[in-house]
Amino acid sequence: MNHISIDCVIFGFNNNELKVLLLHLKYSKEYSLPGGFLKYDETLEQAAQRIVRERTGLDKLFLKQFKVFSDPERSKSNKAILDADMAGSKPDKTFFDKRFISVGFYSLVDFRKVKPTPDLFSDRCDWVSLNEDVSMLLDHKQIIQEAISTLRLQLNQQPIGLKLLPRKFTMPELQTLYETILGRDLDRRNFQRKMLNYNILDKLKERKTGGAHKSPYLYSFNMERYQKALEDGLSGIW
């Protein structure tokens, strides 16, 4: 019989870096994606909400299915390590011999609102920058890569900026977010013009102070117009 699990790639944006919320496993000293199993009367979406809620303290987050991972070898890819590290530890050793089919979800959250919370098997729950190359459980590194690819493709169809940024943000912050997801630089002036032409941002009177240079204006999303614009997709290729 197949086990259905869920793995969540929770993205946050902080300090001009895209980060993923990961659990640091007590026994294997590796990082793992927050995950869990589907309960009998849940939809996958409800299960993913539950998993994300338990790690972030937040409810009703933006979540999207992006791929199912079903390679029978996937639960074995790290088996040697697991066997060694988990000997005599709490989880049942044979548990990891079973086959897992995992549905990948990605989630977009406001970094500052999250309270990272470890689970029973982990000693820490950390935001890990995508630049950091940490050791990860099973095929979780690959799952993150797939999530980013999806994010890139859906940049114009999903409310990515809205969900990842705080309510008030600056244009350079929004641009860096786009650049991070796309993996390439964008022209500052063209970016700003294009964004403003979408007519989905409200320019606020305030500026962001405290930076070392000229203080940028703050913007916020105009929810109504943003929602409407997304229905057709924000035209244009970045």
Partner DNA sequence: CCAAAAGTGTTTTCGCTACACCCATGA
Partner DNA sequence: TCATGGGTGTAGCGAAAACACTTTTGG
Residues of this chain that bind its own copies (CB under 8 A): 1-2, 4, 38, 40-45, 65, 67-68, 70-72, 99, 101, 103, 153, 157, 233, 235-237
Task: Compute φ and ψ for 126, nearest 5 degrees.
Answer: -120, 150
Choosing from 26, 76, 194, 225, the residue that interacts with DNA (CB under 7 A) is 194
Cα separation values, 159 from 34, 127, 137, 175, Å? 22, 21, 29, 15
CB of 35 to DNA, least distance (A): 37
Q: Which is nearer to its own copies, 61 or 165 (CB)?
A: 61
Q: Is the torsion defined by CA of 117, 63, 10, 37 positive or negative?
A: positive
Q: Which is nearer to its own copies, 181 or 218 (CB)?
A: 181
CB of 97 to its own copies, least distance (A): 13
The radius of gyration of the chain's CA atoms, rounded to the nearest angstrom, is 20
Q: Which is nearer to DNA, 183 or 236 (CB)?
A: 236
Q: Which is nearer to DNA, 88 or 210 (CB)?
A: 210
Instruction: Judge whether 130 and 33 are in contact, CB under 8 Å.
Output: no
Of the chain, the end-to-end C-alpha distance in Å amounts to 44
Choosing from 5, 192, 220, 222, the residue that interacts with DNA (CB under 7 A) is 192
Map residue 36 onto helix, strand or coil.
strand
Task: Compute φ and ψ for 218, nearest 5 degrees.
Answer: -100, 145
- Decide which of its own copies, DNA, none touches 67; Cβ closer than 5 to 8 Å per partner kind: its own copies
- Decide which of DNA, its own copies, none touches 94; Cβ closer than 5 to 8 Å per partner kind: none
Strands in 26-89 per DSSP E: 31-32, 35-37, 62-69
Applying CB under 7 A, which residues contact DNA?
Answer: 170-172, 187-190, 192-194, 197, 207, 209-217, 235-236
